[in-house]
Amino acid sequence: MRVYRALVGLSLLWACGGDSNVTDPPGGQQFSLAIQGSGAGTGRVQTVTGTDPALDCALAAGGQGSGSCSGSYPEGASVELTVTPEAGSTFDGWSGDAASCGTTATCSVTMTQNNTAVAQLSTGAAGVQISSSAYYMDPEFGSEGAIIWVAEVRNTTNQTVQNADIEFTSHDASGQVLASDFTFVGPIPPGETRANQSLADLQGTEASVDIRVSDVQFATEDPHLSSAQITASDWKVDPETGLEGAVVWNVEVQNVSSTQLESVEVEFATYDSAGKIVAADHTFLDPIPPGEKRSAQGLADHHGTEATAKFQIASVE
């Protein structure tokens, strides 16, 4: 009996011993964990010390990984990952099967299936970020459908942003990239916002999307946005325009400078009752001599949730 108890004790010690940081409950099935990147930034994702197998994945711009970027773990195990952005890059959050970890640098992934953890890394300045965004699946758009996406960027720095690139990426349920697209906004004076809208390919298996600022360039010269002023504006929803209706908007702009303005771009954006952006549109006005006014009309997408709208001078030449 003493021998039997000793053997049992040794068996339990063997089963419970070790210093691995993988929480490893009993179970025979193994699942894979893969690390991917997304965005223009660079960095590294690692498992914590003691994890077996250990992962150490270097992520290049565009998301390409090198090193140990995947491993297999027992069913029910909890694998802890830590992301470290390189100098000049910013960690914007997790996506894929790690999306629930949000923007926390350390993320624990429970292995109940094959998982892909996507680290979103950008080169955007910390004070220039997405303030509002939306996307819509439109299977009737064109011949193959499209994802209509819109984003608003806020500049909280004390410098004028000349150009901010916005990157859109869609993923399926496993975290694999389905489609990507980009657009840009700017100039953006300090404390202000600018918005833009674009289209991405629709695959039909989208489970999540990422919309982020991927690159920022600050202005070295005055963009002279104050040379033009909006003197009148209005908008209305017209359900009879096109197949799905439209938001019809009108704007009048005056040149308040002493020189002719060759081109003035006006931005129009709609928002729902909670202040979330719904759609964005732009139009250009012909050359405007000093002191004179010009007017234009535009059409923005109608989604049925429009409550307010914003008109802004987007650029002046």
Phi then psi dihedrals of residue 89, to 5 deg: -115, 160
CA–CA gap between residue 34 and residue 54 (Å, rounded): 12
Residues 6+ apart with CB under 8 A from 141: 148, 199, 202
pTM summary value: 0.64
Q: What percent of the chain has pLDDT over 70?
A: 91
In the chain, ranges of CATH 2.60.40.10 domains? 128-218
Give the mean model confidence (pLDDT) for residues 202-231.
93
CA atoms within 13 A on the CB side of 137: 11
* CATH class of the domain defined by 128-218: mainly beta
Residue 14 has pLDDT above 60, yes or no: no
Query: How far apart (Å, rounded) are the C-alpha atoms in residues 101 and 251?
Result: 44
169-216 confidence digits (pLDDT tens): 999 999 899 999 999 999 999 999 999 999 999 999 999 999 999 888
The answer to whether 33 touches 111, Cβ cutoff 8 Å, is yes
Q: Is there a cis peptide before residue 189, judged by omega within 30 degrees of 0?
A: no
- Average pLDDT of every residue of the chain: 89
What's the mean pLDDT in 20-46?
80
Q: In terms of pLDDT, which residue wins out, 37 or 28?
A: 37
Chain segment 73-84, per-residue pLDDT in tens: 999 999 999 999
pLDDT in tens, 93-143: 899 999 999 989 999 999 999 999 999 987 766 789 999 999 999 998 888
Q: In what order do the strands lie in the sheet with 146-155?
A: 128-138, 146-155, 193-201
Label each residue of the chain as H, E or C. CHHHHHHHHHHHHHHHCCCCCCECCCCCCEEEEEEEEECCCCEEEEECCCCCCCCEEEECCCCCEEEECEEEEECCCEEEEEEEECCCCEEEEEEECCHHHCCCCEEEEECCCCEEEEEEEECCCCCEEEEEEEEEEECCCCCCCEEEEEEEEEECCCCCEEEEEEEEEEECCCCCEEEEEEEEECCECCCCEEEEEEEEECCCCCCEEEEEEEEEEECCCCCCHHHEEEEEEEEEEECCCCCCCEEEEEEEEEECCCCCECCEEEEEEEECCCCCEEEEEEEEECCECCCCEEEEEEEEECCCCCCEEEEEEEEEC
Neighbouring-strand partners of residue 177 = 171
Where exactly does CATH 2.60.40.3230 map onto the chain? 225-316
CATH number for the region 225-316 comes to 2.60.40.3230
Highest mean pLDDT among 1-10, 233-242, 261-270: 261-270
